[in-house]
Structure 1
Amino acid sequence: MIDPVVLGRRLHDLRTDRGLALSALATRAAVSVSMLSAIERGEKTPTVVVLSRVADGLGLSLSRLLADLESDRVIVRRAAEQDHVAEPGGWHRTVLTPVVPGVNFEWIRTTLPAGCDAGSFPAYAAGSHEFVAVESGTLWLGVGSAEYVLAAGDSVYFPADETHSYANRGHEPCSYHVAALVMRSRLTHPITSS
């Protein structure tokens, strides 16, 4: 398991060795200054996507960034350690997976309240994949120009190199899981939360 304090120190050292201010790395990595600062202080454990962006900003591969930081081959992420993010519009997501060096995989549980549109998400790089499984309620999933209506128990796979969207147009909350294999970070606005 990667100790967040050790990871933070490593990021700080790599950044200062390159003569980069926190704001300069934030710009290069498309990650907010506050997020980078919290990671360097060991207060936040970043997702794989965030770490991949930071590695890109430092001119390193993700595996090189995390080299020698892994102290255990089995990584347990307790419920209390999971990242819970409340999004605008009332939807909520929980990042369930621990950060694993060299593995660009995330498993996220999302809950959309009735009538909530989570919006569109830019495509990942070619070779990225997403699997979605609906736990409860009904999910309207857009992939490119197509839309799929998924009920509780339904699952779907799609190449994540297309714009995709999630919405709950029903009258009950919808909970679903997304398992994403990401080849590299998205090119979007800076991430402000993990």
Structure 2
Amino acid sequence: MPDLDLVAQALARNVRRFRADRALTLDALAARAGVSRGMLIQIEQARTNPSVGTVVRVADALGVSIARLLDYDEGPAVRLVPQEEAVTLWSTPQGSSAVLLAGVESPGPLEIWDWVLQPGQGHDSDAHPAGTMEIVRVEAGTLVVTLDGVEHPVPQGTTASYEAGRPHGYHNPGAEVVRLTMVVSVPAPVA
């Protein structure tokens, strides 16, 4: 896993760069992302470890994937991401986690994730931009995807897809660990 300071520096550098590329002021990006101007200043100065929700909102507002926002190394035409360089976006002391394996930008942000949810744990997500699609493939256990307040059990060996432009969640109410792979496709930003 990359050093958290390295990730914070990459986040700071990339937010500044993408904001400048899009000619957005701090106030304009704050309004688009729904985060405070002060939080953006702290992010751009690498003085904070923002929440997952904040990173997602900033990435969405900039029209880039989380992978691109956290990318700390520009690489060759084929980019290999060894497991030890994958970025853990959130984790719990009990062992649940979401690890960003890789992401690309064309035509819109596309990300692939490796998730582990320990028994009784879960993660709720704010709505992504309209048109965002998620696909989950459950490798172990039974995942419960909550969408519009309705629970959808997804058993081992099953793949589910859904529009993620509304609040949603991923939960493990069972007694065994849930392992899943998730792909997130965000529509290209409208100019």
Q: Is it true that 1:149 corresponds to 2:157 in the alignment?
A: no
2:112 counterpart of 1:104: no
* Paired residue type of 1:37: Q
- Corresponding position: 1:115 with 2:120: yes
Greater RCO, 1 or 2 (C-alpha within 8 Å, sep 6+):
1
Rounded to whole Å, the distance in 1 between the matches of 2:15 and 2:146 is 39
TM-score, normalised to structure 1's length?
0.62
SS at match of 1:147: strand
Q: Is the 8 A contact 1:131 1:157 kept in 2?
A: yes
| Count of residues paired in the alignment | 160
2:144 alignment partner in structure 1: 140
Higher alpha-carbon deviation: 73-82 or 158-167: 73-82
Shift in CA distance, 72/143, structure 1 to aligned 2, threshold 3 Å: same
Q: Which has the larger radius of gyration?
A: 1
Which residue, out of 84, 93, 97, partners 2:98?
A: 93
1:132, distance to aligned residue in structure 2 (A):
0.7
Distance in 2 separating the partners of 1:96 and 1:102: 19
Post-superposition offset of 1:155: 0.7
**Any idea what the Cα deviations from partners look like across 1:87-145, whole Å, max 9, x if unmatched?**
47752110011454653111111111111132x32222221111011011111111213
- Identical aligned residues as a percent: 21
User: Could you report, residue by residue, the CA deviation over 1:23-70 in whole angstroms, capped at 9, with x for unpaired residues?
Assistant: x6874553654543349xxxxxxx8874453x3xxxxx65xx99xx97
Q: Give yes or no for contact 1:96–1:108 (8 Å, CA) kept in 2.
A: yes
Pairwise CA RMSD: 4.0
The answer to whether the 8 A contact 1:26-1:33 is kept is no
Q: Are the aligned partners of 1:77 and 1:98 in contact in 2 as well (CA < 8 Å)? A: no
Task: Identify the match of residue 163 of structure 1 among 167, 173, 176.
Answer: 167
Assess if the C-alpha contact under 8 Å between 1:112 and 1:175 holds in 2.
yes
Quote the Cα distance in structure 2 between the aligned partners of 1:169 and 1:13.
39
- 3-state SS in 1 of match to 2:157: coil
- Structure 2 counterpart of 1:36: 44
Kept after mapping to 2: 8 A contact 1:48/1:106: no
Q: Which runs of 5+ in 2 are unaligned?
A: 1-8, 48-54
With normalisation by structure 2, the TM-score equals: 0.63
